[in-house]
Chain A
């Protein structure tokens, strides 16, 4: 073994030991989801006719194509059932692999843990090699388990394997991306942020590419998530496309190693520049803004871009549904206004989920600040616990509200322009604002868990994912009604809003307030638990 790789095996074992719950849980989650979808799909679309009808309607709806992609073989059960999994779930898988890779590279370096290990016989490239071995391995295992689950769910074996390998290769490609970004910046947060930015851009590239008629344009072929769709599992199984993500890995891993060789342990590529000798932070509120502003700004830009794209698509929602059947359907559903509303409502509720994810991550900063030991210095001053907790919590609540208002205004402005109807701006903004209380509930759950069981703060992410999955697939899975009712997002009123929306909104806001009060009560009476 090369000297620079010495100790890789030890680090892999250490990493697997640290992830011994995380990885199996995620892999099992992906496997269970794909299995139940394969089974449910067979019940939903029992014959070729029902599949072709559903797939044709789907392919003709721009918003769904932008979000999920196309069904490349309308008669294929697998291609139709798994439409939400080739791009959407692949992106979630990419996010997971980014987290795992950064967790074992830059996070360990930033915290100084690698320095502790570096005193032993540890080569320079070992941490990166070990992190990639773990995330590549996890991707491959996840892909194989998925292939088995799909086949067990009754889908054709060849397609199942193609689908599983597609996920594996996509996971590996984004692990390699994270391996590169982890070398660029000294902060793990920034490294994760850059990688997630790549995921978002590649997702958007394929969204635009997939919308082109007749098929995907070159833009889709620029995106690793697009490649995963172009494997076309269950719709022709284009095996050769698997070579693209693997080639990307083969290209990026040497880049990451070369970057690592050019920098010192603990530093990024860019040297730290001196900063101000005097501080302008007036208190914990200022500090929270300083620590979180960049993240919020990045989210805000993404929301505005996403919003404008969605809004401007509102015009061709009904144009694309030109078949006589579809026109009948439109009339049945309440005309073009209702169709446009349904489209905008669907997109805005997705943005509501994303805003909740932001609120969750911003509020989780409370726990991060505690485990990092920063709280101790602050609470040693005249700052009280509630005041400090409010600094991050209020910022999270305000951030959620800002994001949804931006979403409303940008979607509304886009829709108003393409539909030549100025009223859209106001009513869409209102509809977006109506998603704020549900996202606040998730933000307040973080505070409640932080107050009473700080070590479990991270599990709120699992709760959010559960609610998202229930919203997307709950009906498909025959989930019990009470479980679906548990999700705050189910109670968010949708477009068109009427006076009936007031009750649920009030209920959600009161729930959020109660959870927050609960969280404050716990935080006031517990020990600091770094």
Chain B
């Protein structure tokens, strides 16, 4: 599939600080691409480069076949952007801001605008000064989503939204994908990227360290397994591909590589398996592995309620 967006060897320096250090990154047409990294890893810098707000120190950037630094107007007419930190003019109402941004974008769909206001439960008559962070974000989201863009650049779009609104937002992104539009979604909220993304890229210290479909990336990591046994056998941690074994009374939990799953499960069955929870690797795991920290059991099994209460 054609790449909608392509960055090759991009370097961005701010004085002595190197924000991006040879970044290679691409997004395919029609996909929702999760762009993951912790605070300060270079996500927003990357997005601002894609928008021509910053100028790359080295490397090449193409977005929709155009150079974002030189072809600003023609490029921006075809994309929509939601900044990470939405700042609005305090004495304009939300409705006025939405309409202004829509007009500058080259028009928006009025029916869609009304629908989105309703969906996000946003009062457009309030002055921006009176909006909370979440509501300011909704203003930017409505303005962007009501346009007819090919590419959506969303920088941590849900960081101020409550869970209900986050769900509404997810619905909107799925709709965009069904219409064949391309979405770049930066986030440090991993569950969000996991729920929405076709592919993810992980950025660390100004480089993309991993890119791929989620099911591909899962091969890189371990499954978290917790089991209640009749009796815990010795030597579980000696099995190949089994890590971080924690034993609490009759309960054992471990991180298991894909290749080690079969022998590990056989060992558990032989030990009189009573109950079993296994968690597919979450992005959290991918993420933590790339940032060098060991994955604590309790953190990995968040939804099963923390089994290692030793």
A-to-B contact residues, CB < 8 Å: 110, 186-187, 266, 272, 274-284, 286-287, 290-291, 372-374, 376-385, 525-528
A287 to B103, CA, bound (A): 12
Q: Are A379 and B73 in contact (CB under 8 A)?
A: no
Tell me the chain B residues, 101-128 only, with Cβ under 8 Å from chain A: 101, 103-106, 123-127
Say yes or no: is B89 at the interface (Cβ < 8 Å to chain A): yes
Say yes or no: is B33 at the interface (Cβ < 8 Å to chain A): no
A40 to B27, CA, bound (A): 71
Chain A residues near B301: list those with CB within 8 A: none
Q: Are B129 and A272 in contact (CB under 8 A)?
A: yes
The stretch of B80-88, B190-198, B256-264 that contacts the partner chain: B80-88
Q: Are B73 and A274 in contact (CB under 8 A)?
A: no
Known: A187-B90, A276-B96, A374-B87. A281 touches B127 (CB 8 A): no
Known: A279-B98, A279-B99. A377 touches B124 (CB 8 A): no
Q: Are B51 and A527 in contact (CB under 8 A)?
A: no
A283 to B83, CA, bound (A): 19
Q: Are A379 and B93 in contact (CB under 8 A)?
A: no
Q: Are A279 and B96 in contact (CB under 8 A)?
A: yes
Q: Are A277 and B124 in contact (CB under 8 A)?
A: yes
Residue from A282, A290, A373 within 8 A of B85 (CB atoms) = A373
Say yes or no: is B18 at the interface (Cβ < 8 Å to chain A): no
Residue from B74, B77, B86, B97 within 8 A of A279 (CB atoms) = B97
Q: Are B129 and A377 in contact (CB under 8 A)?
A: no
Q: Are B100 and A382 in contact (CB under 8 A)?
A: no
State the Cβ distance, B134 to closest chain A Cβ, in Å: 14
A377 to B100, CA, bound (A): 11
Say yes or no: is B251 at the interface (Cβ < 8 Å to chain A): no
A138 to B255, CA, bound (A): 64
Say yes or no: is B172 at the interface (Cβ < 8 Å to chain A): no
Chain A residues near B274: list those with CB within 8 A: none
Say yes or no: is B54 at the interface (Cβ < 8 Å to chain A): yes
Say yes or no: is B72 at the interface (Cβ < 8 Å to chain A): yes
State the Cβ distance, B143 to closest chain A Cβ, in Å: 8
Q: Are A381 and B130 in contact (CB under 8 A)?
A: no
A272 to B91, CA, bound (A): 9
Most central of A291, A381, A528 by chain B CB within 10 Å: A381
Known: A382-B105, A527-B53. A187 touches B91 (CB 8 A): yes
State the Cβ distance, B250 to closest chain A Cβ, in Å: 45
A526 to B127, CA, bound (A): 32
Q: Are B73 and A383 in contact (CB under 8 A)?
A: yes
Q: Are B87 and A274 in contact (CB under 8 A)?
A: no
Q: Are A374 and B89 in contact (CB under 8 A)?
A: yes
Q: Are B51 and A379 in contact (CB under 8 A)?
A: yes
Known: A187-B91, A272-B130. A382 touches B98 (CB 8 A): no
Chain B residues near A381: list those with CB within 8 A: 76, 81, 101, 104-105
Closest to A286 in B: B100
A525 to B69, CA, bound (A): 9
Q: Are B83 and A277 in contact (CB under 8 A)?
A: no
Which secondary structure dominates where chain B touches chain A? mixed
Residue from B83, B106, B129 within 8 A of A376 (CB atoms) = B83
State the Cβ distance, A415 to closest chain B Cβ, in Å: 39
Pairs across A and B, CB under 8 Å, 17 listed: A110-B129, A186-B129, A274-B93, A274-B123, A277-B93, A278-B95, A279-B95, A374-B87, A374-B89, A377-B88, A377-B101, A379-B52, A380-B51, A381-B101, A381-B105, A382-B76, A526-B55
State the Cβ distance, A64 to closest chain B Cβ, in Å: 41
Closest to B69 in A: A525
Most central of A277, A282, A291, A377 by chain B CB within 10 Å: A377
What are the nearest 5 A-B pairs in CB distance? A279-B96, A373-B87, A279-B99, A380-B81, A381-B104
Besides the contacts A274-B127, A276-B96, what 15 more A-B pairs have beta carbons closer than 8 Å? A110-B90, A186-B90, A187-B91, A187-B129, A266-B129, A272-B127, A275-B92, A278-B96, A280-B96, A280-B99, A377-B83, A379-B76, A382-B74, A383-B76, A528-B53
Known: A274-B126, A279-B97. A374 touches B73 (CB 8 A): no
B-to-A contact residues, CB < 8 Å: 14, 48, 51-55, 72-74, 76-77, 80-81, 83, 85-93, 95-101, 103-106, 123-127, 129-130, 140, 153
Q: Are B104 and A382 in contact (CB under 8 A)?
A: yes
Q: Are B103 and A283 in contact (CB under 8 A)?
A: yes
State the Cβ distance, B22 to closest chain A Cβ, in Å: 19
Q: Are A282 and B55 in contact (CB under 8 A)?
A: no
Chain A residues near B51: list those with CB within 8 A: 379-380
Q: Are A378 and B104 in contact (CB under 8 A)?
A: yes
Closest to B94 in A: A277
A161 to B236, CA, bound (A): 88
Residue from B48, B83, B99 within 8 A of A373 (CB atoms) = B83
A381 to B104, CA, bound (A): 6
A266 to B197, CA, bound (A): 39
Chain A residues near B126: list those with CB within 8 A: 272, 274-275
A385 to B125, CA, bound (A): 29
Q: Are A279 and B92 in contact (CB under 8 A)?
A: yes
Residue from A282, A291, A380 within 8 A of B103 (CB atoms) = A282
Closest to A371 in B: B87
Q: Are A275 and B96 in contact (CB under 8 A)?
A: yes
Residue from B72, B77, B80, B93 within 8 A of A275 (CB atoms) = B93
A376 to B87, CA, bound (A): 9
State the Cβ distance, B288 to closest chain A Cβ, in Å: 30
Closest to B100 in A: A281
A77 to B37, CA, bound (A): 71
Q: Are B76 and A380 in contact (CB under 8 A)?
A: yes
Q: Are A374 and B88 in contact (CB under 8 A)?
A: yes
State the Cβ distance, B214 to closest chain A Cβ, in Å: 28
Known: A381-B76, A528-B48. A281 touches B85 (CB 8 A): no
Closest to B143 in A: A377
Chain A residues near B100: list those with CB within 8 A: 279, 281, 283, 286-287
A525 to B153, CA, bound (A): 23
Q: Are B93 and A384 in contact (CB under 8 A)?
A: no
Most central of A186, A187, A275, A283 by chain B CB within 10 Å: A275
A186 to B130, CA, bound (A): 10
A274 to B86, CA, bound (A): 21
State the Cβ distance, A273 to closest chain B Cβ, in Å: 8
State the Cβ distance, A250 to closest chain B Cβ, in Å: 33
Closest to A190 in B: B91
Q: Are A275 and B125 in contact (CB under 8 A)?
A: yes
Residue from B48, B77, B86, B87 within 8 A of A382 (CB atoms) = B77
Closest to A112 in B: B133
A159 to B53, CA, bound (A): 58
A279 to B95, CA, bound (A): 6
State the Cβ distance, A454 to closest chain B Cβ, in Å: 13
Closest to A372 in B: B87
A291 to B97, CA, bound (A): 13
Q: Are A279 and B93 in contact (CB under 8 A)?
A: yes
Closest to A284 in B: B104
State the Cβ distance, B160 to closest chain A Cβ, in Å: 13
Q: Are A377 and B86 in contact (CB under 8 A)?
A: yes
A384 to B89, CA, bound (A): 19
Closest to A294 in B: B91
A91 to B29, CA, bound (A): 62
State the Cβ distance, B14 to closest chain A Cβ, in Å: 8
Q: Are A377 and B53 in contact (CB under 8 A)?
A: no
Closest to B117 in A: A277
A379 to B81, CA, bound (A): 9
A459 to B87, CA, bound (A): 25
A277 to B117, CA, bound (A): 11
A379 to B123, CA, bound (A): 25
Most central of B87, B127, B153 by chain A CB within 10 Å: B87
Chain B residues near A525: list those with CB within 8 A: 55
